[in-house]
Amino acid sequence: MDLIGKKVLVTGAAGFVGSHLVEELVRLGVIVRAFVKYNSKGGLGNLKKLPKDIFDKLEIIGGDLRDIEGVKKAVESCDVIFHLGALISIPYSYENPRGFIETNVMGTLNILEAAKEFSVKKIVITSTSEVYGTALYEPIDEKHPLQAQSPYAASKIAADKIAESFYRSFNMPIAIIRPFNVYGPRQSTRAIIPTIIYQALTKDKIKLGSLTPKRDFTYVKDTVRGYIKIAESENSIGETINIGFGETVSMGDIVETIKSILEKDFEIETDESRIRPEKSEVRLLICDNKKAKELLGWKPKVSLIEGLKQVINYIKDNLHDYKSEENLK
């Protein structure tokens, strides 16, 4: 499917990945309807950081994924849906598991029911590598067992299975994208890479959780290309597709790499609030991206070193935003 000129709904558009996807879609000539969570202040999250020529082309709708009527209004007349909207904070999922089920599971169900009603031509549902839990074998392909090591992961597994059931039961044109750890400009300090960089730029001692878990980090623009290729491809219908770099690195290694780029040394102090419960910690994630390469012709382009440099430059240029973010904690 050629997306140019198509009307596309992006849920979670105000988020980190969502804003990058929206930006790229507009640049490609796609008509974008951005669905953002309604709030009384009219906050638009990362959308307000987009260039004006991009922002001015958006149709922005405020609402709540849990509201089926609001979701139907957002979906109506759209050709394609990119469903990224979700609660994503793993630590918060320990505090509010019900909220994660209501938003991530019921919200996805609402999107699927609306897509069915309006005969949407392609639906891309966002999963997460967290559904795999700690790797039982590596690299992790799409056939790896699913392990709910947090309420967040459980909610995403349930959402994936509901999407799969709609494909099998109603022959809907659904694909599931399963991104591994995404990083890049605009990401908040809730994520590990921005919190290391921001603290390293502003402090002599930084607070972090465990440094031993290993992750597969993928630059956001590579992930966005994965979304778009999945939407465009007929081969992706009914498929779950990993999008990840294919290499693993520990949190400690990330710290050392950032030290090297910045040419700065700093002390590390353990922040207990960032350490997951023992049975909940995912120790190792590494992506087998063979399916994405074969089905879509997708492969990552941005190396970890280059990506980290891009994030460092972005945070340097936007220190005030990150300082404001820190003050909200």
- How far is the first Cα of the chain from the last one, in angstroms, to the nearest whole number? 43
Catalytic residue list contains 152: yes
Give the separation between CA 49 and CA 27, rounded to whole angstroms.
15
For the chain, where are the E strands, in sequence order? 7-11, 31-37, 59-63, 80-83, 122-126, 174-179, 181-183, 205-208, 214-215, 217-219, 240-243, 249-250, 267-270
Question: Residue 218 in contact with residue 183, Cβ under 8 Å?
Answer: yes
Tokens 């350490």, residue located: 275
Catalytic residue among 132, 152, 167, 183: 152
Total Cβ atoms within 10 A of residue 162: 16
Q: Rounded CA gap, 224 and 248, in Å?
A: 20
Beta bridge partners of 243: 179
Active site residues: 152
